[in-house]
Amino acid sequence: MTILRFVEHLSELVADVDVVLSDIWGVVHNGLESFPDACAALKTARDQGRTVILITNAPRPADSVQRQLRKLGVADDNYDAIVSSGDLTRNYVAARNGQSVFWLGPERDNSIYRGLDAVFAPLDQADYIVCTGPFDDETESAEDYRVMMGEALARKLPLVCANPDIVVERGDRLVYCAGAIAELYRELGGEVIFYGKPHRPIYQRALAIAQALRGAPVPLDRVLAIGDSVRTDLAGAQRFGIDCLFVTRGIHAAAFEGLDGLDALQVRELFGHPPRALTRELRW
């Protein structure tokens, strides 16, 4: 018996929703272009009185994320606020004045340190690591960092993962993120501190902002998450106690190709615990 089916429209699910917590990459854009139907859906949700918070594992501050969204044609009025794993990582760095950091990540993520008095050091002299991704995500994977992670483990350095995603879409390709390196370090026995989905702090921050904007508490049963990753978006929503609309056109697209609905076995294999509903792409 089919127990989980696709819905075509966000409007089918939000009659009893006050707050929408939407993923960005894979739902609103693919790194190269925005999805107009998704943007219009979020704007309509806002226009009807709901609060829309974008929650992202981008290892950059919210204002940097906003600039990227503008470049991709995502208007400011499509959402109320942005909460990023980059902002949560910045709080960690700011609280450790006097300690030195080894930064593992591409130069484009340098805004994560903007305005902070971060002291950078090579791996053999650092007090901790901040990982925002591979140095070159076009060509590298976590395996390229196995030796480096072994050296970090020997020094018992904590690694702060500023983006728990394993992979993300870039156009029609998947590229590796900081989460892949962090998971390797954890498998080796290293200490990893994760900021971003599926971990609670990013949801707590997003809900606090939504409640401040609305001027009243929001029950969890009136919050809907939207995302395209089983490991981060769906797992994070479930752990936080909120429903999730799962978008299948993102990083798991191949697993859903040709499916119109899922039976109980498929649900267990793909999700473990099912989302509230599936949709191929976000539209009102």
State yes or no: pLDDT of 94 exceeds 90. yes
State yes or no: pLDDT of 116 exceeds 50. yes
**If pLDDT is split at 50, 70 and 90, which confidence band does 278 have?**
confident
Q: In this predicted structure, which of 55-69, 86-100, 167-181, 225-239 has the lowest mean pLDDT?
A: 167-181
State yes or no: pLDDT of 273 exceeds 90. no
Highest mean pLDDT among 21-25, 169-173, 245-249: 21-25
CATH topology agreement for domains 10-85+198-223+240-265 and 96-194: yes
Give the pLDDT confidence score for residue 1 in this predicted structure.
Answer: 39
Q: In this predicted structure, which of 158-167, 203-212, 274-283 has the lowest mean pLDDT?
A: 274-283
Are 245 and 43 in contact by the 8 Å Cβ rule? The answer is no
Task: Dump pLDDT digits (tens) for 172-191.
Answer: 778 899 999 999 999 999 99
State yes or no: pLDDT of 160 exceeds 60. yes
Task: Dump pLDDT digits (tens) for 24-55.
Answer: 988 999 888 999 999 999 999 999 999 999 99
Q: In this predicted structure, which of 135-144, 147-156, 201-210 has the lowest mean pLDDT?
A: 135-144
The CB-based long-range contact list for 235-244 (8 Å cut-off, 24+ gap) reads 235/197, 235/198, 236/197, 236/198, 236/199, 236/202, 236/203, 237/21, 237/198, 237/203, 237/275, 238/273, 239/198, 239/200, 240/200, 240/203, 242/21, 242/203, 243/13, 243/275, 243/276, 244/275, 244/276
Mean pLDDT for 54-58 is: 95
Give the pLDDT confidence score for residue 2 in this predicted structure.
Answer: 46
Mean pLDDT of the chain: 91
Mean pLDDT for 117-134 is: 97
Which of 176, 222, 174, 203 is closest to 22 using CA atoms?
203
Mean pLDDT for 96-109 is: 95
CATH number of 96-194: 3.40.50.1000
> What architecture is domain 10-85+198-223+240-265?
3-Layer(aba) Sandwich (3.40)
Mean pLDDT for 66-82 is: 97
Domain ranges of the chain: 10-85+198-223+240-265, 96-194
Q: Across the strands, what pairs with 169?
A: 174
